[in-house]
Amino acid sequence: MTELEPAGMGTRLVAWVVDRLILAGLWTLVACWGFVAYLHVIRWPPDLLNLATLIGLLLLWWIGLHAAYFVVFVGGCGQTPGKMLLGITVVRWDGAPAGYGRALLRWIGYWVAALPLGLGFVPAFFTADRRGLHDWISATRVVHRQSAPVLAAPSPAPTQMLFTSSPLPGER
């Protein structure tokens, strides 16, 4: 196993801000659509129950979007767009790709770490491997992409090979 260099807290914080800006933009877009639909469907002045329903749906949208964003990106390629921008990636403790199960555990770990006033993130500032509670829960760590193992690209599917214009072996 190669030694993986932990990502610094400043880099992780900037990636976190980038991801939050992307999520805020997506959420705002849907929230605006939801509010416009609310104005067209519901009579004015708004009923308290209908307004509470709208707020509840927007909260569910935020949680679902947040979960999908982090689980799909971290599980699929080990990086959110913020981490991609800054050249860091999430890997398992042994350096292998995190996978979807660990990505889900990591996302749940974010909430567990954030609930006691963010105290679950404090260990990342003081440990050599820069792991917070969410990293410990999911057995992951954030490292610089250059030090992470690179997986070989998958071979093309047989149908892709049929439609390529490259010559066959032995042809020129």
Percent of all residues in the chain with a pLDDT value above 70, rounded to a whole number: 83
Q: Band the pLDDT of 150: cuts 50, 70, 90.
A: low
Q: Which range, of 6-15, 42-51, 91-100, 103-112, averages the lowest pLDDT?
A: 42-51
Mean pLDDT of 129-149: 89
pLDDT digits (tens, 9 = 90+) for 120-133: 999 999 999 999 99
Mean pLDDT of 23-33: 92
Q: What pLDDT is attached to residue 161?
A: 47
Half-sphere exposure of 87 (CA within 13 A, CB side): 5
Element housing 141 (H / E): strand 140-144
Distances (CA, A) of 73 to 43, 48, 80, 89, 104: 40, 37, 5, 10, 11
User: Over 70: is that where the pLDDT of 7 sits?
Assistant: yes
User: Over 80: is that where the pLDDT of 158 sits?
Assistant: no
Q: What pLDDT is attached to residue 36?
A: 85
How many angstroms separate the CA atoms of 74 and 102, rounded?
9
List the domain boundaries for the chain.
9-162
